[in-house]
């Protein structure tokens, strides 16, 4: 699992005015919610969180503020409605034994027979919500496509099961499919028609 380090600066003031002052100074106001109910208010530079925010991977952050380091996950990011600039970040401290809900990407394994037969794999869901304890945390959920044929689909229930990890999405939610190409449909229809004609003769 990828872990990155983020350096934060303690923010003495709280509230709207303090957050606005931080943004005017070119920093991002943040709040870290701890397992014991404590909250840490601090700021970070936009560059320090770029690889943590703008990614399709699930990552852990070691956030250091005031000489203390917290193992965290991303809880929420707020953006400016016009410029899309990050305006606020919420972090959640990971505490062993305390379950957390996170979203992790889905990764396909294997080679699909339907693709080899001329179809195209269409991914409908790229991530899945899971509930687990920090000690069982994973950065992805895997699913095998080695038996996926033309016209078939994979669903959330087909994801590989992991002890201690509960999937929160509906089991029937489609993940990916291999539609039958029009050309192959037309060819199959012609073959069927020829077989019917031959049988009639």
| 141-187 pLDDT, tens digit each | 999 999 999 999 999 999 999 999 999 999 999 999 999 988 776 55
Domain coordinates in residue numbering, the chain: 2-95, 101-186
- Fold of the domain spanning 101-186: RNA Polymerase Alpha Subunit; Chain A, domain 2 (2.170.120)
**pLDDT < 50 positions in the chain:** 188-201
Task: Dig out the tokens for 37 from the structure.
Answer: 């109910």
- pLDDT score recorded for residue 121: 96
Q: Is 174:154 a contact under the CB 8 Å cutoff? A: yes
- pLDDT score recorded for residue 21: 86
Task: Dig out the tokens for 107 from the structure.
Answer: 């990764």
Task: Read off the pTM.
Answer: 0.83
- pLDDT score recorded for residue 185: 63
Q: What does the alpha-carbon distance between residue 45 and residue 67 come to, in Å, rounded to a whole number?
A: 17
- pLDDT score recorded for residue 182: 80
Q: What does the alpha-carbon distance between residue 143 and residue 106 come to, in Å, rounded to a whole number?
A: 7
Q: Is 44:74 a contact under the CB 8 Å cutoff? A: no
Q: What does the alpha-carbon distance between residue 112 and residue 177 come to, in Å, rounded to a whole number?
A: 10
Homologous superfamily of domain range 2-95: Ribosomal Protein L25; Chain P (2.40.240.10)
């Amino acid at each position: 699992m990828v872990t990155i380090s983020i350096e934060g600066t303690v923010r003495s003031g709280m509230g709207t005015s303090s957050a606005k002052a931080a943004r005017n100074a070119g920093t991002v106001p943040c709040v870290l919610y701890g397992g014991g109910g404590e909250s840490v208010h601090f700021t970070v530079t936009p560059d320090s969180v770029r690889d943590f925010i703008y990614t399709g991977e699930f990552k852990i952050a070691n956030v250091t503020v005031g000489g203390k380091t917290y193992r965290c996950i991303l809880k929420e990011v707020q953006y400016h409605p016009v410029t899309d600039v990050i305006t606020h970040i919420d972090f959640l401290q990971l505490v062993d034994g305390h379950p957390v809900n996170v979203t992790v990407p889905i990764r396909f394994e294997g080679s699909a027979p339907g693709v080899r037969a001329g179809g195209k794999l269409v991914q409908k869901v790229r991530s899945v919500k899971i509930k687990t304890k920090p000690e069982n945390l994973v950065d992805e959920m895997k699913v095998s496509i080695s038996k996926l044929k033309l016209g078939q689909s994979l669903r959330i229930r087909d994801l590989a099961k992991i002890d201690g990890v509960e999937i929160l999405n509906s089991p029937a939610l489609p993940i990916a499919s291999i539609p039958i190409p029009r050309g192959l449909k037309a060819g199959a229809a012609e073959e069927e028609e020829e077989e019917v004609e031959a049988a009639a003769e």
